[in-house]
Amino acid sequence: MSSNPSIIQLTPVGVVRSTRKAVSDDNWDVENTYIELDATRFDNTALRGLENFSHAEIVFYMDKVNPDKIEYSSRHPRNNINWPKVGVFSQRGKNRPNQIGVTVCRVKAIDGLLLHLDGLDAVNDSFVLDIKPWVTEFGPRGKQYQPSWISELMANYWSAQSTESAETSK
């Protein structure tokens, strides 16, 4: 491609409201989250019918990423040397070119311009770039496999259980 690729300008369609106020890696299922659409450009028709889908795919912008930390080549995921050094496009970490997150969430409720979701791993105030219904035919087709390191990395990603030891008896 040319040495000077075009800059693409996007305008957020809404923002994430989440009980997760600071960036951290795991236990996303403990959070309450919704998306608030930009009321200057959308009305309550924009989400019409989404309640008939079990899931929606959220495309968001991880604005809290430190630009100096963005990886362009390869690194150990979460800097864990027990996991292989893989390319930035072979992992889903946040420190990536364009800082885009994509997550399939459960549609919980729609209230006007608010879309309540389960399983959105975005920090409070993140910008939303797009919302799409999850469509079965767009899922992975054919045999699926993945390396063991990513399954290990994901072990507590969603878990609503604290990874700390259970509270001690009195």
By CB under 8 A, what part of segment 18-47 binds its own copies? Answer: 36, 38-43, 45-47
* Segment contacting its own copies by CB under 8 A, of 19-27, 71-79, 162-170: 71-79
Residue ranges in 94-123 that form contacts with its own copies under rule CB under 8 A: 96-98, 100, 102-104, 106, 115, 119
Name the residue nearer to its own copies (CB basis): 30 or 102.
Answer: 102
Q: In the chain, how long is the greatest CA-to-CA distance?
A: 66
Region label for 127, one of left (φ > 0), alpha (ψ between -120 and 50) or beta (otherwise): beta
- SS3 call for 69: helix
Answer for the pair 115, 13: CB distance below 8 angstroms, yes or no: no
Query: Which of 87, 147, 92, 150 lies closest to 121, judged by CA?
Result: 92
* Segment contacting its own copies by CB under 8 A, of 18-26, 48-56, 160-168: 48-56
Name the residue nearer to its own copies (CB basis): 23 or 138.
Answer: 138
Radius of gyration, CA atoms only, the chain: 18
Q: What residue type is assigned to position 59 of the chain?
A: V
Residue ranges in 124-163 that form contacts with its own copies under rule CB under 8 A: 127, 129-147, 150-151, 154, 157-158
Task: Check binding of 72 to its own copies (CB under 8 A).
Answer: yes
Task: Check binding of 84 to its own copies (CB under 8 A).
Answer: yes
